[in-house]
Amino acid sequence: MLKEFKEFIMRGNALDLAVAVVIGGAFGKIVTSLVDDMFMPLIGALMQGVDFSSLAWTVGNASINYGMFIQAVVNFLLVAFIVFLIVKVVNKMKKTPPPADPTTKDCPHCFSAISIKATRCPNCTSDLT
């Protein structure tokens, strides 16, 4: 059982997942701080200091804090947008090599793959010129 556990842990999938969770947690804190500490104060200033978190309805002894819900939705949308922008920038930074020139083509007579430089098909001996 210990051997199976060691094999499970040493699989690439488990290690990759563990690294992704740790990095994702740290990255999540950075993005949350960016939204909470930089963007939300700007949005609050643009909306003349409206604080969504204090908006609530009182029904009897219960308080329905719909402002907190609005705040959570705005935070989610901002976090999602910031992550989208970061992923877009990272994808642009990745340099993808241009596609390689093809080295084979299909024979128009027998449809087998042959060298692109061939003038006669080695399979059906058809002239390709």
Q: What percent of the chain lies above the pLDDT cut of 70?
A: 98
Asked if 119 and 129 count as a contact pair (C-beta separation under 8 A), the reply is: yes
Distance CA 87, CA 82 (A): 9
Angle at 70 between CA 66 and CA 73, to 5 degrees: 135
Q: What is the CATH number of domain 2-93?
A: 1.10.1200.120
Region 99-121 average pLDDT: 90
Give the model confidence (pLDDT) of 42-75 as tens digits: 877 887 877 777 788 888 899 898 888 888 888 7
Instruction: Break the chain into its structural domains and give their ranges.
Output: 2-93, 97-129
